[in-house]
Structure 1
Amino acid sequence: MSNFAETVVPNADVEPVLSVRDLKTSFLTSKGWVEIVKGISFDIGPRETLAVVGESGSGKSVTALSIMRLLDPEMSRVDGSVKLAGRELLKLSPGEMRNIRGRQMGMIFQEAMTSLNPLQTVGQQIAEVLSIHGLYSGQAALKEAERLLDRVRIPGAASRLKDYPHSLSGGMRQRVMIAMALACKPKLLIADEPTTALDVTIQAQILQLIKQLQQEEGMGVLFITHDMGVVAEVADRTVVMLQGKAVEADSTEVIFERAENPYTRALIAAVPKLGQGSQKGPQHFPILDRKTGTIVTGRERPDTVRHDAEPVLRVKDLTKRFDIPGGLFSGPSGRVHAVEKVSFDLRAGETLSLVGESGCGKSTTGRAIMRLIEPQSGEVSIEGTDIRALDKERMRDMRRHIQMIFQDPYASLNPRINIGEAIAEPFLTHKLGTRQQAREKAMDLLERVGLSPDMASRFPAQFSGGQRQRICIARALSLEPKVIVADESVSALDVSIKAQVVNLMMDLQEQFGLSYLFISHDMAVVERISHQVAVMYLGEIVEKGPVAAVFGNPQHPYTKRLMAAVPVPDPARRKQLRPVSNDEVKSPIRPVDYVPPQRDYREISPGHIVQAWGDDWKV
């Protein structure tokens, strides 16, 4: 496939909505002009979805911003041709381009919260788009905004008009962004990683919504993502980008069935698929050996769990509630029941995953176990020591045995100290040796996590996201802990980098006998890395057991809902509009005098238990 300008033209008989030819984008740096997008070409027809896929830094988002003319003209240079319905966009004046944006081209960004004005209601923001483009004004604009919110399946649209962005969930905020993008019925919708930060169930809702609205409005869609599972769900055709170039382009079916480029094959191989979990335990993800261009599937892993030993971590009836302040002279007006009587055991060498959507209490559980927040009640013991009974000094010593890896590695590292010092710091703080020993330990750990020891003098900003997460893993290992709490530690990573980091965690578990409490909303990754899994909903564990039992025979409706929402990397299913629940997770806020009901559990098979549920549950 040498001529990508030809291979990505949809239909010669239909005029494309968008036609891009030899697009090149350069940025001005201290070293002069650096070309980021290196001559990419494609067409998008009406009702057609083209996916531009690649890892971070491949140039896909810059491609979208170049098409929209949203780059700083003093610091960037865009060459080539971009035509919208036959009209050349790169020659338009800034004023003419402003009329095009929103009116004929809509864009959905990755993080809705940073794209919405926190000081305006969502109704005002949608009405503003309509007013700017002269379609409606005043009360008519607000009425149309209500219709648009209803159109993107936001329940109670009339009341939601007066809500501010912070009072909406992530999924609802993304729906508001879609409503704004579609307000003027554009010919083209550009969706830049619109579901990356969302839970799997909310992601499924947004993908279905975009597909439905596309068919109703006849839009062309440019969908930018790094997730090949999402590509299979939405895209008619696919362009794969690497280092600013299109390395492969064809129909999505052809890409998945017989991809020619090894990088494309690696992206597809790294997509976690439900049903690929092993009865024998966790499995490595396939990854690309960039030297040979071949896919490495990984060796058979031994059983790392010490089945005959006492649990290294034992949690019983852990409860954490947050008071909601009332008036100035009154008590709390309610309580958030974040974690409610959570119990589980974690053995040496075992991975237990806590899964569920945002707000289910899984991260609060991890922080309460670490005593980063203090639980109201319950027991947390490490090798028989009740850590809730420890004072601050003894708790600090106990943290040698239980460490945490957070979701955002950049926020976890001090940008002012180099990574060698960052890894050595816990070792020195706990007085485990001399500075020379700490340096040697840092060098050894960098090598163990797949980085070069000579990188120790670099600062966090000089590393990629995947490398920074490896640094955080090395820092957690510097104290030789028994338990690591990994809180969404791979959810923000590209799919191939995610595969590498998960493989690394499993290798380190084998080397050091580590136990992981793996907190995630990604069911497909959980199936691959876990020995045990516990599904959380509204602060409670609703199903728990061996991963093969829970995934092979899910019982609770919520577990089934999570699994049904996982993207299926099969392009044959693309045209199907799957039934997806539009229900958001219910609020965990309760009255001050609320007493949780006594829960009943039944055992389905050895170790596989499920909470009884009422008639109000639907999948």
Structure 2
Amino acid sequence: MSPVLSVQNLTTSFLVDGQWKSVVRNISFDVMPGETLAIVGESGSGKSVTSLSAMGLLPKGQSRTEGKIVLNGRDLLQLSEREMRGVRGNEMAMIFQEPMTSLNPIFTIGRQIAEVLTRHRGMTAEEARAETIRTLEKVRIPNAKGRFDEYPHQFSGGMRQRVMIAMALAARPKLLIADEPTTALDVTIQGQILDLIKQLQEEEGMSVLFITHDMGVVAEIADRTVVMLRGEQVETGPTAEIFHNGREPYTRALLASVPKLGSMEGRALPLRFPRVDMTNGEMTAPTEMRDTVDHRKTPVLEVRNLVTRFPIRGGLFGRITGAVHAVENVSFTVHQGETLSLVGESGCGKSTTGRSLMRLVEPQGGDVQLDGHDVLRLDARGLRGLRRSVQMIFQDPFSSLNPRMTVGQAVAEPFLHHKLGSRAQARDKAADLLERVGLSADMLGRYPHEFSGGQRQRIAIARALSLGPKVIVADESVSALDVSIKAQVCNLLMDLQEEFNLAFLFISHDMAVVERVSHRVAVMYLGEIVEIGPRAALFSNPQHDYTRKLMAAVPVPDPARRGVRRNLAVDDLKSPVRAPDYVPPQRDYREVAPGHFVMVA
């Protein structure tokens, strides 16, 4: 049996400062008919460049591709650009990581898919419309006929990704290249997309080249796996063999860094990740945190009946026509030295909750007591004082760090702004904090662009610590990081929590990481907490349907689950938009175990 795609000695280089610099070196692999091959590696490993080389989508003149890329017997590197246009979409198609930037915002989604059919399969407009609707139904978009004439912005992230898959499948290619197609999606949407790709592969008999850094996804979807590191292929083999008997140190280190849902069974306290040397694969055993929480003391943060709504205006005079009920009657406490995780899908209100208690957005009601401050009644001067007690770590450190300031200036700025000492003292403080977060003091003069994503997140953590806060709100602070960097940053946060007795409000959609780092967990849905309790109780005995749905959707790094279907319902998160006169129902909670409460339906 001949491979659908055969890549032999692929080397891809880019022109940098007049010199050719190779970023992918001597990569070879085959994708057989009906097979899924995963290319896995961290950011900068060259996996996406490999797929773009195969598609012929790298910039002409600035890139050079050598070797052989043979698709169905034809060497793609010998084809003209006109011939490649006939191959793309027709014989092989690609799903990109970010559907919003891949879909044209000024055309309806129906028109964008129909264009593939009229161009590659010579259909009339009427035939293309009927086939597009059939394809949309195939990728499980509800009311496909009615949504044909809608625009990309009218679809959720998960539905936009389904549109991208429909577009890729429209001309029935023999090879589908999926480049990180689930990375930006919530865990339940990710589960749906993985199920969909498996099902469509069976129905269409396609081969799939799946590019990802998520080892859980690899275990569930791939027949064989290629592991890449810094542009080179370090290991190739059947997925089960790679997972159970990985020969290369980097492969073993990568797998050791992956959090596995259920691995915390029988443990009451958060557990650090193994400390792994990614070059030689050596690792130290994970250690449990000390119990730093004293529940007899007054909580450092108390939130009672918090309400945050955003008005929607419309009509000629800009009248209020409705409101987004982002946070509705939310209550919880956090003690010194404790981590409370807020989990839920995009749009559930968890980030707005964090911003509301810091007054980065203004709540409409409730009561927030933070380290003795009555937060919602503070004036501007009082709010400045509040910043010393609570700091925030944002998801994207690059956009939260000023590119014109050195990291030393960025870390020292809060210290100087609050007049806590001289410039010399601020510099010493910044140097000490950089050392505490695993960087060195001689990096003070560098700028944010000179650091990797993981290092920038460490700088953001150092800046958050500069005022000696009691509470840190970590808003998706590890979700954009590679798996090994994610493990390192989580370990750092737990080390700092022990050292400074910090309280964390850890906002995340990653259930496996949440299970590892939390003392307690609150699950949010449509602006409300539907379940809250000690981490061990909530994960071992989830009571609410939505909590169970979140857990069922988490990819598990176990190749034995290959072929498992979650059969998650294909539905978007319901809208939190309500009419101006809407009165929320009174909610009741049932205590199912000590401290474990679930909303009564």
Is this a same-fold pair by TM over 0.5? yes
Alignment-derived partner of residue 183 in structure 1: 170
Alignment-derived partner of residue 91 in structure 1: 78
Paired residue type of 2:254: L
Name which of structure 1's ranges 509-518 and 274-283 shifts more when overlaid on structure 2.
Answer: 274-283
Alignment-derived partner of residue 546 in structure 2: 558
1:221 aligns with 2:208: yes
Structure 2 residue corresponding to 1:271, chosen from 248, 253, 258: 258
Deviations 1:539-576 (A, max 9, x none): 00000000000001000000000000000111111122
Paired residue type of 2:558: D
Give the superposition deviation at 1:279: 2.3
Alignment-derived partner of residue 9 in structure 1: none
Alignment-derived partner of residue 360 in structure 2: 372
Alignment-derived partner of residue 606 in structure 1: 594
1:542 aligns with 2:530: yes
Q: 3-state SS of the aligned residue for 1:272?
A: coil
Give the superposition deviation at 1:330: 5.4
Q: Whole-Å Cα distance in 1 between the matches of residues 255 and 278 of structure 2?
A: 15
Structure 1 residue corresponding to 2:147, chosen from 160, 169, 172: 160
Alignment-derived partner of residue 289 in structure 1: 277
Alignment-derived partner of residue 193 in structure 1: 180
Q: Whole-Å Cα distance in 2 between the matches of residues 575 and 344 of structure 1?
A: 40
Q: 3-state SS of the aligned residue for 2:57?
A: coil
Deviations 1:17-36 (A, max 9, x none): 10000000011101611110
Q: Which segments of 5 or more consecutive residues in structure 1 lack a partner in the other structure?
A: 1-13, 614-619
Alignment-derived partner of residue 584 in structure 1: 572
Tell me if the contact between 1:289 and 1:296 (Cα under 8 Å) persists in the aligned partners. Answer: no
Deviations 1:1-20 (A, max 9, x none): xxxxxxxxxxxxx1111000
1:362 aligns with 2:350: yes
Give the superposition deviation at 1:55: 0.4
Q: Whole-Å Cα distance in 2 between the matches of residues 187 and 363 of structure 1?
A: 42
1:121 aligns with 2:108: yes
Alignment-derived partner of residue 10 in structure 1: none
Structure 1 residue corresponding to 2:26, chosen from 26, 39, 48: 39
1:483 aligns with 2:483: no
Give the superposition deviation at 1:600: 1.1
Q: Which runs of 4+ in 1 moved over 6 A?
A: none
Alignment-derived partner of residue 11 in structure 1: none
Alignment-derived partner of residue 9 in structure 2: 22
Tell me if the contact between 1:280 and 1:303 (Cα under 8 Å) persists in the aligned partners. Answer: no
Tell me if the contact between 1:262 and 1:288 (Cα under 8 Å) persists in the aligned partners. Answer: no
Name which of structure 1's ranges 279-288 and 457-466 shifts more when overlaid on structure 2.
Answer: 279-288
Paired residue type of 1:549: A
Paired residue type of 2:545: P
Give the superposition deviation at 1:165: 1.0
Paired residue type of 1:501: V
Tell me if the contact between 1:340 and 1:540 (Cα under 8 Å) persists in the aligned partners. Answer: yes
Name which of structure 1's ranges 379-388 and 514-523 shifts more when overlaid on structure 2.
Answer: 379-388
Structure 1 residue corresponding to 2:517, chosen from 529, 532, 540: 529
Structure 2 residue corresponding to 1:57, chosen from 37, 40, 44: 44
1:439 aligns with 2:445: no
1:110 aligns with 2:110: no
Give the superposition deviation at 1:291: 6.1
Give the superposition deviation at 1:272: 1.1
Aligned-pair RMSD on alpha carbons? 1.1
Give the superposition deviation at 1:135: 3.2
Deviations 1:45-95 (A, max 9, x none): 111000000000000000001111100121111000000011100010011
Paired residue type of 2:443: M
Tell me if the contact between 1:266 and 1:287 (Cα under 8 Å) persists in the aligned partners. Answer: no
Percent identity, aligned pairs only, is 66
Alignment-derived partner of residue 508 in structure 2: 520
Tell me if the contact between 1:103 and 1:186 (Cα under 8 Å) persists in the aligned partners. Answer: yes
Give the superposition deviation at 1:292: 4.8
Deviations 1:461-502 (A, max 9, x none): 111111111110011011111100011111111111111100
Paired residue type of 1:281: L
Q: Whole-Å Cα distance in 1 between the matches of residues 564 and 243 of structure 2?
A: 18
Q: 3-state SS of the aligned residue for 1:501?
A: helix
Tell me if the contact between 1:532 and 1:547 (Cα under 8 Å) persists in the aligned partners. Answer: yes
1:235 aligns with 2:239: no
1:401 aligns with 2:392: no
Q: 3-state SS of the aligned residue for 1:241?
A: strand
Deviations 1:102-158 (A, max 9, x none): 111110111111111111111111111222224323232222211111110010111
Paired residue type of 1:80: G
Q: 3-state SS of the aligned residue for 1:593?
A: coil
Q: Whole-Å Cα distance in 2 between the matches of residues 557 and 289 of structure 1?
A: 40
Name which of structure 1's ranges 569-578 and 224-233 shifts more when overlaid on structure 2.
Answer: 569-578
Aligned length: 600
1:254 aligns with 2:241: yes
Give the superposition deviation at 1:178: 0.4
Tell me if the contact between 2:249 and 2:280 (Cα under 8 Å) persists in the aligned partners. Answer: no
Tell me if the contact between 1:325 and 1:334 (Cα under 8 Å) persists in the aligned partners. Answer: yes
Judging changes above 3 Å, is the alpha-carbon distance between structure 1 residues 606 and 68 closer, same or farther for their aligned structure 2 residues?
Answer: same
Tell me if the contact between 2:250 and 2:280 (Cα under 8 Å) persists in the aligned partners. Answer: no
Paired residue type of 2:315: G
Alignment-derived partner of residue 5 in structure 1: none
How do residues 128-167 of structure 1 correspond to structure 2 at under 5 angstroms? Answer: 128-167=115-154
Structure 1 residue corresponding to 2:156, chosen from 164, 169, 194: 169
Give the superposition deviation at 1:159: 1.5
Paired residue type of 2:464: A
Alignment-derived partner of residue 616 in structure 1: none
Tell me if the contact between 1:263 and 1:288 (Cα under 8 Å) persists in the aligned partners. Answer: no
Q: 3-state SS of the aligned residue for 1:64?
A: helix
Q: 3-state SS of the aligned residue for 1:47?
A: coil
Q: 3-state SS of the aligned residue for 1:34?
A: strand
Judging changes above 3 Å, is the alpha-carbon distance between structure 1 residues 291 and 69 closer, same or farther for their aligned structure 2 residues?
Answer: closer
Alignment-derived partner of residue 340 in structure 1: 328
Give the superposition deviation at 1:384: 2.8
Q: Whole-Å Cα distance in 2 between the matches of residues 445 and 17 of structure 1?
A: 53
Q: Whole-Å Cα distance in 1 between the matches of residues 171 and 63 of structure 2?
A: 29
Give the superposition deviation at 1:280: 2.8
Paired residue type of 2:549: R
Deviations 1:298-346 (A, max 9, x none): 3332112122211001100000111111202252221111100000000
Q: Whole-Å Cα distance in 2 between the matches of residues 462 and 136 of structure 1?
A: 51
Q: 3-state SS of the aligned residue for 2:276?
A: strand
Q: Whole-Å Cα distance in 1 between the matches of residues 122 and 283 of structure 2?
A: 53
Tell me if the contact between 2:268 and 2:536 (Cα under 8 Å) persists in the aligned partners. Answer: no
Structure 2 residue corresponding to 1:391, chosen from 352, 376, 379: 379
Q: Whole-Å Cα distance in 2 between the matches of residues 325 and 158 of structure 1?
A: 30
Q: Which segments of 5 or more consecutive residues in structure 2 lack a partner in the other structure?
A: none
